[in-house]
Amino acid sequence: MSFGSQPTRNVGPSEFNKRAFLLWRVLPTILIALAVSGAAFLLLEWSAREADRLSLERQRRLFSLAVMDMTENIAHQQESVTVWDDSVLHLQEEPRDQEWLDANMGSWLYSYFGIDASYLLDPDDRAIFASEQGRLLTPEVFAGVAAAVLPRVDRLRAVLRRDDPADVPDRMDSAGVTDLAMVRGHPAIVSAKPVVSDTGDIVQTPGEQYVHVAVRYLDGSFLAEVQERYLFNDLQFDADVANAPGALQLYPLFDGSDATLGYFTWRPVLPGAGVSRRILPALAVLCMLAFAGLGLFLWLLWRRSVALGATEARMHYMALHDALTGLPNRAMFVERVESALTRSAAGRGGTALLYIDLDHFKQVNDTLGHPAGDQLIQEAGRRLQGLTRDTDTVARVGGDEFAIVMTGVTEQAHVERLCDRIGDSARIPFDIEGNQIFMGMSIGYAMAGADGPGLNELVRRADVALYRAKSLGRSRHVVYEKDMDALLQERRRTEADLRIALREGGQLQVCYQPIYAARNGALTGFEALLRWQHPELGPISPEVFIPIAEETGLIEPLGAWVMREACTAAGGWPDLVISVNVSAIELRDPDYAGRLADLLRETGLAPERLELELTESTMIEAPGAHMQNLRSLRGMGVRLVIDDFGTGFSCLGRLQSLEVDRIKIDRSFIHALGRSSSDEAIVRAIIDLAHATILETTAEGVETEEQRARIRALGCDSLQGFLFSEALSHRDADALVAAGTRGAGPEPGATDSRAAREADNLAGPG
């Protein structure tokens, strides 16, 4: 028997290698590709969701910031008309002037701040005035909002009856209640503020004051502003969340009792979802090339992240910067002050806070328009930035108010030098729409060291110092001192003492500073300067008591007394001119020109020998009786002079339109001659333009031969200052006229006392 063998199937090397390739190469590669693709998909989904979550969180924070900012601002905006003596007096009148109330407490708030509705309630909470959307309505329309408003008014009156100063928030001048509520079916901010006296001279019973109610709807212009400023899409308000599709972002709105008023909705920006929609198709194709696909995904994700970062940076920038100037706004300003105070507390140098206010800025808007005012604010911001260090912060904190935060300050002299540079810069005219505008700056500053005050106290001190600078005549800088907190009491005492001085006589005196012709040194006239010698305090500066006289109504009897004294004295000086400062308040009296004409006839002074010195703003702001008085005075032959030209708000381009005879160049430019080429160029421009418009010029404050030589070379007509004479008593002025003295310069041994010069640099009642 034989055994046959079955043929054996040989496994060749090629087939074995194929299996090995499939098992050890292809399969791992496929598994790795699938794993990488799956990981890439999961990473994409997680990144998209995280980006969307962060974006939604940022959008909610931005919207919350916008609502909070609007809520805080309304109370500030109201106080511009509720903390005002004129408002209290007009509300106490019978019948009340509804047009005045609308112009100042209704339509003005709507047009300037966007407040949708304003109501005034009497002490019994009855509506006496109503304005909605800038239209004056009958008080009966208040009934439609009473249910939403009166509970807030009741809370306010409870606060007012307590009469506790602690109820007045920091940086507020009066108590108030601000809340969210539904008004006429709209979500709204409701703010109730009492109408109170700004000077404290009007006595009001706590809790019985008139109440101003401001309503700003949150589903009207507010939504448009927020949508445009923060780039929200389809922003709207829904009272019921059921009406909102699931794709919209929701922001609940609560009132003071935590009751839900409704929901703000918008179509959120979801950068992550956008990334996913763009990447997934490409990722499906690139799964076979796992690493290439992953690289493409990371590259695209990086690009989208850059775009998202740029959008976030833009939104963050807009939230912390002023839209007009690009400077930090109040929010960033607070952060910078807190950061500076933290460094100071750690012993890394002191902090200085400067508040800067543009003097008479409103006159720019009134005369040249708001676009010119915006350009002026932008230019002022650029100048301030150019004067500060990289470590300092320049912020715009109000309409025409700036702030500077200085860090690492080791001595007060550093701050003083910056204030001096700001003052020098302000004297250079602003070129706005072809107009040369002189705009002074008032500065108040406060300092903090390692153990210095906190944020609120430092801000308060700087604000107090700024108020002091403006009360001293503006265009200067003042550092906070502890005794400034007693400024109100000092002002009240000064007012009372000034009344006594006017009533009893003996303390006030009119002095006369000679004015000489620049060409030949001939005596041409005198300027009347008011002096007050207090029996206890000694000499009191007119820059202290004149603003008080203007605010309290004493300027009219004071100015009348000075005018009579000056005209009587000038009656004995043949052919000489007497210059008298006049306040804009005096010119508001319709009978002013007539009374002055009677005085000239009584004293025998020819009208053409009388010059009235007024500020440029007085000439520009001349409505009604003001303008009629100026026309009557010119018709009589009285000469009009612009005083202190170049300080505050001055515009070279308006000289041609002002009906005046002379301009007086401010002493600050004269003192800088020989030291500042820019100031000399300004003086030359003023004199050339004045002569081109057939105006005479007078230079004030000439103290040196060099100044006299330079001002004469520039073509100025008249000179006055300590180089020639100090202000003289009536008797000494008579002696000077009798002697026929020319202004040849100071005699040997003539006084050069700095204190005397500063005393006689002070202006008269105007």
Mean pLDDT value across residues 714-726:
93
Contact 475, 441 (CB under 8 A): yes
pLDDT at 585: 85
Q: Averaging pLDDT over each range in 11-20, 306-315, 645-654, 691-700, which range is the top one?
A: 691-700
pLDDT at 656: 55
Instruction: Assess whether pLDDT exceeds 80 at residue 169.
Output: yes
pLDDT at 12: 43
Q: How many CB atoms lie within 10 A of CB 641?
A: 25
Kind of pairing between the strands at 662-665 and 639-645: parallel
Strand pairing partners for 177?
192
For the chain, the maximum distance between any two Cα atoms, rounded to a whole number of angstroms, is 173
CA distance 80 to 736: 52
pLDDT at 219: 84
- The predicted-structure confidence for 224-234, as pLDDT tens digits, reads as follows 888 888 777 87
Taking the alpha carbons at both ends of the chain, their separation in whole angstroms is 149
Instruction: Assess whether pLDDT exceeds 50 at residue 124.
Output: yes
pLDDT at 743: 47
SS3 content of the chain, % helix, strand, coil (to 5): 50, 20, 30
Q: Which helix or strand (DSSP H or E) is residue 603 part of?
A: helix 592-603
Which carries the bigger pLDDT value, residue 344 or residue 264?
344
Kind of pairing between the strands at 639-645 and 177-183: unpaired
Mean pLDDT value across residues 50-76:
80
Nearest one of 177, 105, 111, 186 to 145, comparing CA atoms: 186
Contact 531, 539 (CB under 8 A): yes
Mean pLDDT value across residues 603-629:
79
CA distance 602 to 605: 8
Q: What is the mean pLDDT of the chain?
A: 83
Note if the bond before 271 is cis, omega within 30 degrees.
no
Contact 350, 391 (CB under 8 A): no
Q: Give the DSSP per-residue string, 697-713.
A: EEE----SHHHHHHHHH
- The predicted-structure confidence for 458-515, as pLDDT tens digits, reads as follows 999 999 899 888 877 778 999 998 888 777 678 788 889 999 999 998 899 999 999 9
Contact 174, 164 (CB under 8 A): no
**Considering Cα of 302, then 306, then 307, then 308, what sign does the dihedral take?**
positive
Q: Give the DSSP per-residue string, 276-295.
A: HHHHHHHHHHGGGSHHHHHH
Q: Give the DSSP per-residue string, 409-451.
A: E-SHHHHHHHHHHHHHHHTSPEEETTEEEEE-EEEEEEEE-TT
CA atoms within 13 A on the CB side of 570: 33
CA distance 657 to 581: 21
Q: Is residue 218 helix, strand or coil?
A: coil
pLDDT at 268: 79
pLDDT at 617: 64
> What is the percentage of the chain residues whose pLDDT exceeds 70?
86
Q: Give the DSSP per-residue string, 318-330.
A: HHHB-TTT-SB-H
What is the pLDDT confidence band of residue 702, given thresholds at 50, 70 and 90?
A: very high
Q: How many CB atoms lie within 10 A of CB 628?
A: 15
CA distance 193 to 78: 7
CA distance 52 to 43: 14
What is the pLDDT confidence band of residue 726, given thresholds at 50, 70 and 90?
A: very high
CA distance 673 to 675: 5
- The predicted-structure confidence for 285-305, as pLDDT tens digits, reads as follows 777 776 677 667 667 766 666
What is the pLDDT confidence band of residue 693, given thresholds at 50, 70 and 90?
A: confident
Which strands form 350-358's sheet, in the order they lie side by side?
393-396, 401-409, 350-358, 441-448, 477-479
Instruction: Assess whether pLDDT exceeds 90 at residue 524.
Output: yes
CA distance 625 to 590: 5
pLDDT at 334: 93
- The predicted-structure confidence for 93-122, as pLDDT tens digits, reads as follows 989 999 999 999 999 999 999 999 999 999
> What is the percentage of the chain residues whose pLDDT exceeds 90?
45
pLDDT at 244: 58
CA distance 577 to 297: 88
**Considering Cα of 380, then 383, then 388, then 393, what sign does the dihedral take?**
positive
Non-local CB neighbours of 179 within 8 Å, separated by 6+ positions: 152, 189, 190, 191, 255, 256
Helix axes 27-82, 221-230, angle to 10 degrees: 130
- The predicted-structure confidence for 395-441, as pLDDT tens digits, reads as follows 999 888 999 999 999 899 999 999 999 999 988 888 888 888 888 89
Contact 106, 118 (CB under 8 A): yes
pLDDT at 19: 67
- The predicted-structure confidence for 313-369, as pLDDT tens digits, reads as follows 788 788 889 999 999 999 999 999 999 999 998 888 899 999 999 987 877 776 778
Instruction: Assess whether pLDDT exceeds 80 at residue 561.
Output: yes
pLDDT at 13: 44
pLDDT at 25: 65
pLDDT at 618: 66
State CA 424 to chain mean position distance: 20
**What are the start-end ranges of the H helices in 231-369?**
271-285, 290-320, 330-345, 361-368
Residues 375-396, buried b or exposed e (16+ Cβ, 10 A)? bbbbbbbebbbebbeeebbbbb
Which strands form 177-183's sheet, in the order they lie side by side?
135-137, 127-132, 117-121, 211-217, 186-194, 177-183
CA atoms within 13 A on the CB side of 365: 11
pLDDT at 121: 96
